[in-house]
Amino acid sequence: MGMTFAEKILAKKAGLKHAVPNQIVIVKPDYLLMHDNSSAIVGKIKNELQEFGIANPDMPIIVLDHVIPASDEKIATNHQKTRDFIKKYNLKNFYDVGGGICHQVVFEKGFAKPGTVIVGSDSHTCSYGAVGSFATGIDRTEAAALLLRGETWFKVPESIKITFENELKPPVSAKDVVLSIIGDIGADGADYCSVEFHGNIGALTIDDRFTIANMGVEMGAKVAVFPVDRITRKYLSQIGLQKGSFEVLWADRTAKYKKELTYDLSKFEPVVSCPHTVDNVKPVKELEGLEIHQFLLGTCTNGRFSDLEVAADILEGKTVAKSSRLLVLPASKDVFEKALKKGVITKLSKAGGMILPPGCGPCLGAHQGVLAPGERCLSTANRNFKGRMGCKEAEIYLASPATVAASAISGRLTDPRNIS
Amino acid sequence: MKIWKYGDDINTDMLFPGKYTYTSSTPDEIKPHLLEDLDPLFASNVKEGDLVFAGKNFGCGSSREQPVVGLKAVGIQAIVAKSYARIFYRAAINQGLLLVECPEAVDAYKEGDEVRLDAQAGRIEIGGKSFSFPKLPPEILAIRDAGGLLPYTLQALRKAKGGG
């Protein structure tokens, strides 16, 4: 019997010929991602680290990104403890504040490779499925155990096959695709499953795939994975990963899936995810005119160069409504520098955008751009949970960069197809 | 024993707001904010042995483990829900907190019903009716039985060291 991608990679990494759903396998992940929670993770095992050391010093990747630059003394101390830990154990995969959001950094620095197993103490670790990595989130305690032991268990997941047909019609984007799918199958529609994308994958750029894989966890998925094709190889070679430096694995044609779904990319339209769950999805045209106080363009979901560029093209020569504010959050320093060089940052700034340092910023409500009671935010991020942006009496709507930019002009929700 | 009953898709922001994530890690720091945006009465009234009942996809969202650490620390006997999000499910195993996955039991429960839980047998009684729930595979149960993933990992490391 053929295997799905998830069955195949977990079998291989566990040293088995075959794996079936619900089987428990023991795997040594290629990488373990940690971020601002590193000091809490390390704090759990201070003495044990003295006794046993780090099982595989090449495994941890640490990126400080969640609350940067530090907002108060406590956060600053956490960052300092993390730097001390890096120094003490001489770890090489460390990216200090200002480098970017961990998931973007893991991509840009070439850690996210086809055929790898990556776990991270952050739920959006699933993003690396964009380049054929089996990548998933874990909690802090498991990250601590992995530092000590270097291996963990996985239950081989059942898989869902999603096949794409035809092509997107801009300004409809990958964000509209993934929000629509989540609206369709529900926030638990892929619970525990490997979501594997098939069909006309060539119609989606690497950035599109990143956005879709990033939101896999919002449908409950363990991993959300794309096959490796010409576009993936081209991207990998651009960041210095040549053929032969990674292994490509993909599902067999005869693999068995729990569910098979097919979507016509040309049929998607601009959508918005309404408060307070990601699966509460409605067409933008049904809610046009809704007043918005804050716009957020960026985050690990939609903070790449192509996202900023789409928004800048819409906002060029226009200005953000006086009643609103636009926050721009590039996903990394590299993204910021490219956007600066190409004039994208200037366009966004001239239109009234406020450029924030490359990090997680307002997305999780810890600092920068916290909302007030009664305020409404239209954001390109991935979660609209009650209280997510620091205030439980505020509302968060999720949409694409094009919808955010088009709406920022009037300060009201606007279908980007109606902007000339 | 009190039953705290909630609905579907209870997410990690409702269980423990993100604004505290990087400043609160220990049980004592977590407890006052537990379920703050879901039920402001919970943190000050929860007692050891209480149960949490909920609908589908409990614990969806972030990888933050504070909700599990906090619920374990205040002495919640178990969570009984229709289904769980996977990171939360894994985090519960790692902290040694019992999760009961039993949609029938959640649907059957009415306020005032007497509830009896037998974790060993994998059964829960609601108002006189008995329901069974799936047990963890033995290799995973061993983690929970050791008191969580860190004690389990240390046992394994010490054994390997002793044996070597």
- In this structure, are A158 and A252 located in the same domain? yes
**Statement to judge: residues A245 and A307 lie in one domain:** no
A361 and A302 housed in the same domain: yes
Per domain, the residue ranges of chain B are 3-133, 136-164
Do both A282 and A412 map to the same domain? yes
Domain limit, last residue, from A264, A296, A320: A264
CB A222 within 8 A of CB B86: yes
CB contact under 8 A, B37 and A390: no
Q: Do A139 and B150 touch (CB under 8 A)?
A: no
- CB–CB of A391/A409 below 8 Å? no
A379 bridge partner residues:
A296, A398
* Residues A247 and A276 occupy one common structural domain: no
Nearest chain B residue to A147 by CA: give it. Answer: B153
Q: Is A188 on the interface with B (CB under 8 A)?
A: yes
Classify domain B3-133 at the CATH topology level.
Answer: Aconitase; domain 4 (3.20.19)
Tell me the nearest-neighbour CA distance from B58 into chain A, angstroms: 9
Enumerate chain B positions whose Cβ falls within 8 A of a Cβ in A.
Answer: 9, 11-14, 17-19, 21-23, 25, 37, 56-57, 60-65, 68, 83-87, 90-91, 94-95, 137, 139-140, 148-150, 152-154, 156-157, 161
Q: How confident is the model at residue B147 (pLDDT cuts 50, 70, 90)?
A: very high
The CATH number linked to A395 is 3.30.499.10
Provide the domain limits for residue A236: 5-264
Distance in angstroms (rounded) separating the CA atoms of residues B111 and B2: 10
pLDDT exceeds cutoff 90 at B161: no
Q: Does A385 contact B14 at a Cβ distance shorter than 8 Å?
A: yes
Residue A60, beta-bridge partner list: A32
Residues of chain A where predicted confidence (pLDDT) is lower than 70: 420
B126: closest CA of chain A, how far (Å): 26
Given an 8 Å threshold on Cβ–Cβ distance, is A149 in contact with B90? no
Are A94 and A243 in the same domain? yes
- Choosing among A139, A142, A299, which should be mutated to test the B contact, i.e. which has the most B CBs within 10 A? A139
Residue A201 gets which letter from DSSP? G
Does residue B164 register a pLDDT over 70?
Answer: no
**Chain A positions in Cβ-Cβ contact with residue B57 (cut-off 8 Å):** 187-188, 191, 220
d(C-alpha A144, C-alpha A45), whole Å: 7
A260 and A290 in one domain? no
Nearest CA in chain A to B57: A188
Amino acid B163: pLDDT: 63
A381 vs A156: CA distance, rounded Å: 29
Tell me, what's the pLDDT at A243? 86
Nearest CA in chain A to B40: A392
Contact B86 A220 (CB under 8 A): yes
Question: How many Å lie between the alpha carbon of A292 and the closest alpha carbon of chain B?
Answer: 22
Q: Same structural domain for residues A342 and A288?
A: yes
Reference A412, options A328, A277, A349, A322; nearest CA is A322
Domain limit, last residue, from A232, A264, A296: A264
Q: In this structure, is the dihedral angle defined by the CA atoms of residues A207, A210, A212 and A218, taken in order, positive or negative?
A: negative
This model of the complex carries an ipTM of: 0.94
- Using the Cβ of A220 and the Cβ atoms of chain B, whether some distance falls under 8 Å is answered with yes
Query: pLDDT of B36-65, one tens digit each?
Result: 999 999 999 999 999 999 999 999 999 999
Structure tokens at A148: 């000590």
Q: For position B19, what pLDDT does the model report?
A: 86
Chain A CA closest to residue B56: A188
The pLDDT of residue B162: 83
Q: Is-contact A197 A189, C-beta < 8 A?
A: no
- Asked if the C-beta of A24 comes within 8 angstroms of chain B's C-beta atoms, the answer is yes
Note whether A140 and A99 are same-domain residues: yes
Say yes or no: A280 and A160 in one domain.
Answer: no
Q: Which of A28, A42, A66, A123 to substitute to test the interface with B, most B CBs within 10 Å?
A: A123
Strand ranges (E), A237-302: 259-264, 271-273, 281-283, 294-298
Between A267-276, B26-35, B154-163, the lowest mean confidence (pLDDT) is in B154-163
CB proximity under 8 Å: A 61-90 to B: 66-67, 72, 74-75, 78
Could you say which of B19, B140, B157 has the minimum Cβ distance to residue A149? B157
For the whole model, what pTM was predicted? 0.97
Say what the pLDDT of residue A118 is: 98
Q: What is the pLDDT of residue A219?
A: 98
On chain B, the residues whose CB falls within 8 A of the CB of A385 are: 11-14, 61
Our count of domains for chain A comes to: 2
Name every residue whose Cβ is closer than 8 Å to that of residue B124 and which is 6 or more positions away in sequence.
B80, B100, B102, B105, B115, B116, B117, B118, B130, B131, B132, B133
